[in-house]
Each structure stands twice: as structure tokens, then as C-alpha cells.
Amino acid sequence: MVKLVLIRHGESVWNKLNEFTGWVDVPLSKLGIKQAISAGKKLEKTKIRFDSIYTSELVRAHQTLFHILEQFNFENIVYHVDDPYLEKMTKHKMNIKELPIYKTIAFNERHYGDLQGQNKDEMRKQYGLEKVELWRRSYDIKPPHGESLKDTLERVLPYFKKFVLTDLKNKKNVMIVAHGNSLRGITKHLEKISNKDIPHYEIPLGIPIIYDLDSKMKIKSKSVLDSKCKL
């Protein structure tokens, strides 16, 4: 069996302010940093050794991944695959073991369009509770100039199937650090969750979810590592 670990980034400063974030590049809050460190410590205790890592292009996911990797005693060098200097070093056959980290826009959070940067409670006052909840919790209804959950999943899944599933089928352990809605797409595919149920499926901030998958990519077990933190 191989392992797939999914981690939603820790709390961002806009999560804390109850604002729609989407593709706006905001950093982690103090609590978010603590959540990421705690997640890394929990993962390190599992003794899982990863062969590839995937993340979005947004800084809150990168920060989360950085703090997670800080907790591991890696013998290999961690690098981004688009770093020409380290790629040149490997070509010279130096004694370097590679742990590639792939950044992709495909795993970005759902784009909330005109709602981005707006307070959720203020938007409920402006547009009405029913309409805002429809934008947030329906499967295929878009906020103004934004993506529906369906749009997000259609962006996530082709990349996941082409690259991540290929790694898993090649017996590589994979970690993905991304966002609530992009991870919903992966979870929907793995767990065969219906279109009706997936908008209400919650993925907690900063808590690793571990899947054991067999050779046919069927789930043999699933575990959630609690990583509660206090400021």
C-alpha cells in the first residue's frame, strides 16, 4: 500500500477575520503557524517518508508546508523542481537525494470573484443570507465573477489524476498541502462523495488526513491526525 496525505493550510489572517480569501495571497496567522508546526510534529511521528509533494501557488500553503517540513529530520535535500541551480547540481551527479515539490495553480483555492476580500457577515447583510449561503454551499452556482465548487473540482481532478495518481501507482508516498475546496475535489474522487454532499464536507485547517491506498487506488484505511493548538 501507499500513503496519500492531504493537509489544508493553517489558519490565514483572513480566515481569522472571517473574510473570503480565494486566490488573494495572504499569509498564515499566528495560530496558523502553530497549527502547521503541530501538524508537522504529528506527521513526523508516523515515520512516513514522502517521495513527492504537491502544493498550490499560494503563500499560505507554502508557509504551512515549510513549517511541516521543519519538523522532519530529512536526509535528502528539499527543493522546488523549477530551481535551475539545484537541477544543475543533480546533473553533475553530486550525492543528492531529491524530494521534489511541485507547485501548481490547479490546486489553488476556489476563486470567489467579487466576494474576495469581503467580510462574510457583511456580504450576508448586503446580499441576504440565503444567496450568500447558496454561493458558498451549492455545487454548481458561482458567486459574481468567481468559480463554483464544480468549476474548482474540474480544475483540480485532471491534474490529480495525471500526476498524483501516477506517483501513487508507482508506489510513491505523496503529500498535498492545499486548500479546503481544492482538497474537497480530491476527497470527492477518492471517497466517491456525491455532488449533493460534497459542498457540506468540511476539511479542517492544519490537520493531516492520511489515506492508505491499495494498488487499484482503493482506500484501505483513513486516519485524521488531530493537531489542536492554543495561542
Q: Which residues, in sequence order, are CB contacts of 160 under 8 Å at separation 6+? A: 106, 185, 186, 189
What strands, in cross-sheet order, belong to the sheet with 2-8? 77-80, 98-103, 52-55, 174-178, 2-8, 209-213, 219-224
Q: Residue 39 and residue 7: Cα distance in Å, rounded?
A: 9
Q: Whose grid coordinates read 508516498? A: 173
User: What is this structure's pTM?
Assistant: 0.89
- Extract the C-alpha cell encoding 73: 529530520
Q: Whose grid coordinates read 503541530? A: 38
pLDDT along the chain (231 residues), means of 10: 97 94 95 96 92 94 94 67 54 60 94 95 94 92 96 96 95 97 96 93 95 96 72 33
Q: What is the pLDDT of residue 82?
A: 58
Q: Residue 153 and residue 167: Cα distance in Å, rounded?
A: 20
Q: What is the pLDDT of residue 226?
A: 78
Pairing of strands 174-178, 52-55: parallel
Q: Residue 55 and residue 64: Cα distance in Å, rounded?
A: 10
Q: What is the pLDDT of residue 183?
A: 97
Q: Residue 223 and residue 220: Cα distance in Å, rounded?
A: 11
Active site residues: 9, 109
- Cβ atoms of residues 207 and 68 within 8 Å: no
User: Cα 178 to chain center, whole Å?
Assistant: 2
Q: Which residues, in sequence order, are CB contacts of 25 under 8 Å at separation 6+? A: 58, 59, 60
Domains recognised in the chain with CATH numbers: 2-175+190-211 (3.40.50.1240)
User: For 177, phi and psi rounded to 5 degrees?
Assistant: -115, 110
Q: Residue 20 and residue 113: Cα distance in Å, rounded?
A: 9
**HEC letters along 140-209:** CCCCCCCCCHHHHHHHHHHHHHHHHHHHHHCCCCEEEEECHHHHHHHHHHHHCCCCCCHHHCCCCECCCE
Radius of gyration of the chain (CA): 18
